[in-house]
Amino acid sequence: MNNTLPTSIVIFGASGDLTQRKLVPSLFNLFRKGRMPKKFRIVGSGNTAFSEDQFHARLADGMKQFASFKYSEEEWKNFASNLTYQQGRYTDLADFKKLGGILDKWDGGTGNRIYYMATPPDIFPNIIDLLGLSGQLRENGGWRRVVIEKPFGIDLASAQSLNAQIHKTLTENQIYRIDHYLGKETVQNILVTRFANTIFEPLWNRNYIDHVEITVAEQVGVEHRAGYYDTIGVVRDMLQNHLLQLVSLVAMEPPSSFEASALRNEKVKVLSSIQPVKQENILNNTVLAQYKGYRAEEGVKADSTTPTYAALRLQIDNWRWQGVPFYLRSGKQLAQKLSQITIEFKEPPHLLFPTAQGRITPNMLVLYLQPDEGIHWRFEAKVPDTAADMRSVDMEFHYADSFGKTAIPESYERLLLDALAGDASLFTRADEVETAWALIDPIIETWDAQKQPLPEYKSGDWGPAEADKLLSRDGRSWSNWDGRVG
Ligand code: BG6
């Protein structure tokens, strides 16, 4: 594909939060690093009647609030000269034809184009239809790609119908379904840790690993997103996508290459090996809860049963993972913002050393995804000047120490760069998204059928007591690393 052609990035939903907070700062940083195509234009599109000046002012203001890097006014001015705004309705073919005409005029109709869906999800199908009907998705010299934000559907049926619908106008390799967790350096580093080192992989299986725990905890509540969140909840917002993506990266077999289809085939294999939680076991293997005060948040229904916390026990039915539970949890208004994957190893088969309960603290490998990105290894060491007392110590790698405090870019930078380069490795494929929904649907249905209110947890806690029971029943507990979690 020709990447020297003029490239347009059209953002639908340009007046929204994502554009201001993430997309424009990321594109600007790519520009500063000299990674944008030589000739490019970013066209914001939306219902709002912005003048060019208002649009620029809004984005400049967003940069001041949200950019995680320093820049000069001159850099911004240079970048902003490529930014324009085009008001348009998402339901009007005439407006789409007008947009197409403007782009054709700029790139001669043969340029490369990315259409980015940053609107509320119920509008995606309409936009894609109208892009197709206005002839903008036909590749005629340059490539045409569509980037689709999450959530991709709200259940299996809607994801299937969205896939069927977009496949009418686009081939799968023109579609880039975003899961911003895959843009995180630390998430990509799961694969490097596993497959660029020889020391981990021999241990990475049921013979040595007792269980895996994935925590994605947030301190914030619903903030200003209640309108969206209250209809979606944590299972659809976090588990179906971010957490299952993490499971697939931790559990996958080594792909033959880092090429998109090889990688995604392995991820789909993991998702399809996850034992569907049987209807009658769902309530035993999942915990949903709501933070106290959620129903009083602005925009949340007074009788809302939307969960803001979920914990889940999964089994992967294959040779590598048989009998190794994966415990997942995610929630809002928890004790701290923390995303981590804990690989807890089995205890040694025979204890040489006397210990208090005849047990020893198991080794742990903790992949800290955020905020203090790094990897910690916990192992036992002899306490000096004792006969044979032991204590857990840890070996720590922190990105900030090894690569500098500002080394980690915003996850959207990498994803936008890959979409421009035509590399779909870090985007979810149609079958992947559907397999994930197939796992999640029965959980949502079963909980929806419950007539009781959800358990509540205090904001600032680590979730409801029921979530602790999910592990204590198995003789385990959520990992307690340096007292940070637990
Ligand atoms: C988004 C969810 O996908 O991820 C949000 O919609 C959540 O509800 C966010 O807050 C968390 O992302 P991060 O990168 O801050 O962990």
Q: Looking at ligand 1, which residue's alpha carbon is closest to its atom 2?
A: 237
Would you say the CB of residue 237 lies under 6 angstroms from ligand 1? yes
> pLDDT averaged over the chain?
94
Q: What is the pLDDT of residue 268?
A: 98
Q: What is the pLDDT of residue 486?
A: 39
Would you say the CB of residue 149 lies under 6 angstroms from ligand 1? no
Q: What is the CA radius of gyration of the chain?
A: 24
- Closest atom of ligand 1 relative to the 339 alpha carbon: 16
CA distance 366 to 480: 11
Question: Is 76 in contact with 64 (CB distance < 8 Å)?
Answer: no
Measure 448 CA to ligand 1 centroid, in angstroms: 23
Does the pLDDT value for residue 483 go beyond 50? no
Q: What is the pLDDT of residues 290-313, one digit of tens each?
A: 999 999 999 999 999 999 999 999
User: Which position has the higher pLDDT, 377 or 349?
Assistant: 377
Q: Is the peptide bond before 371 cis (omega within 30 degrees of 0)?
A: yes
- 3-state helix, strand, coil split of the chain in percent (to 5) is 40, 20, 40
Would you say the CB of residue 95 lies under 6 angstroms from ligand 1? no
Does the pLDDT value for residue 100 go beyond 70? yes
Q: What is the pLDDT of residues 130-169, one digit of tens each?
A: 999 999 999 989 999 999 999 999 999 999 999 999 999 9
Measure 355 CA to ligand 1 centroid, in angstroms: 42
For residues 225-247, give the mean pLDDT.
Answer: 96
The band of 284, judged by pLDDT with boundaries at 50, 70 and 90, is very high
Measure 238 CA to ligand 1 centroid, in angstroms: 7
Does the pLDDT value for residue 485 go beyond 70? no
Does the pLDDT value for residue 1 go beyond 70? no
- Residue by residue, DSSP assigns 404-471 as -TT----HHHHHHHHHHHT--TTSB-HHHHHHHHHHHHHHHHHHHH--SPPPEE-TTSSS-HHHHHHH
Q: Looking at ligand 1, which residue's alpha carbon is closest to its atom 5?
A: 237
Q: Which token pair is 113? A: 């184009």
Is the full-model pTM beyond 0.85? yes
Would you say the CB of residue 431 lies under 6 angstroms from ligand 1? no
Q: Looking at ligand 1, which residue's alpha carbon is closest to its atom 9?
A: 238
Catalytic center residues: 242
Q: What is the pLDDT of residues 354-390, one digit of tens each?
A: 777 778 889 999 999 999 999 999 999 999 999 888 9
User: Which position has the higher pLDDT, 401 or 483?
Assistant: 401
For residues 460-478, give the mean pLDDT.
Answer: 95
220 contacts: CB under 8 Å, gap ≥ 6: 332, 333, 337
For residues 242-255, give the mean pLDDT.
Answer: 98
What residues pair up with 142 in beta bridges, in sequence order?
Answer: 140
Read off the amino acid at residue 188. Q
Question: Poorest-confidence range of 66-80, 203-217, 274-288?
Answer: 274-288
Measure 460 CA to ligand 1 centroid, in angstroms: 18
Measure 358 CA to ligand 1 centroid, in angstroms: 42
- Given ligand 1 and candidates 180, 239, 336, which is best to mutate, with the most ligand atoms within 8 Å of its CB? 180
For residues 33-52, give the mean pLDDT.
Answer: 96
Would you say the CB of residue 218 lies under 6 angstroms from ligand 1? yes
Measure 219 CA to ligand 1 centroid, in angstroms: 11
Q: What is the pLDDT of residue 350?
A: 87
Q: Looking at ligand 1, which residue's alpha carbon is closest to its atom 8?
A: 237
Q: Looking at ligand 1, which residue's alpha carbon is closest to its atom 10?
A: 218
Burial label for 411, CB within 10 Å (0-12, 13-18, 19+), is buried
Q: What is the pLDDT of residue 484?
A: 43
- Closest atom of ligand 1 relative to the 411 alpha carbon: 14
Q: Which token pair is 127? A: 């936009």
- Given ligand 1 and candidates 242, 333, 408, 411, which is best to mutate, with the most ligand atoms within 8 Å of its CB? 242
Q: What is the pLDDT of residue 279?
A: 75
- Closest atom of ligand 1 relative to the 242 alpha carbon: 3
- Given ligand 1 and candidates 218, 294, 306, 411, which is best to mutate, with the most ligand atoms within 8 Å of its CB? 218
Burial label for 196, CB within 10 Å (0-12, 13-18, 19+), is exposed
- Closest atom of ligand 1 relative to the 370 alpha carbon: 16
Q: What is the pLDDT of residues 165-200, one digit of tens each?
A: 999 999 999 999 999 999 999 999 999 999 999 999
DSSP 173: G
Q: Looking at ligand 1, which residue's alpha carbon is closest to its atom 4?
A: 238
Q: How many CA atoms lie within 13 A of 407 on its CB side?
A: 13
Q: What is the pLDDT of residue 431?
A: 98
CA distance 226 to 223: 7
Domain annotation for the chain: domains and CATH numbers: 7-149 (3.40.50.720), 182-472 (3.30.360.10)
In this structure, are strands 286-291 and 309-314 parallel, antiparallel, or unpaired? antiparallel
- Closest atom of ligand 1 relative to the 150 alpha carbon: 3
Element (H, E) at 113: strand 112-117
The band of 480, judged by pLDDT with boundaries at 50, 70 and 90, is low
- Given ligand 1 and candidates 186, 235, 238, which is best to mutate, with the most ligand atoms within 8 Å of its CB? 238
For the chain, percent of residues with pLDDT exceeding 70: 98
Read off the amino acid at residue 481. W
Measure 189 CA to ligand 1 centroid, in angstroms: 19
In this structure, are strands 175-177 and 144-148 parallel, antiparallel, or unpaired? parallel
Q: Which token pair is 236? A: 């659809």
Measure 467 CA to ligand 1 centroid, in angstroms: 21
Q: What is the pLDDT of residue 451?
A: 78
Measure 173 CA to ligand 1 centroid, in angstroms: 26
The band of 2, judged by pLDDT with boundaries at 50, 70 and 90, is low
Question: Distances in Å between the alpha carbon of 334 and those of 209, 305, 366, 444?
Answer: 27, 18, 19, 22
Q: What is the pLDDT of residues 320-332, one digit of tens each?
A: 999 999 999 999 9
For residues 405-427, give the mean pLDDT.
Answer: 96
- Closest atom of ligand 1 relative to the 225 alpha carbon: 8
Q: What is the pLDDT of residue 392?
A: 92
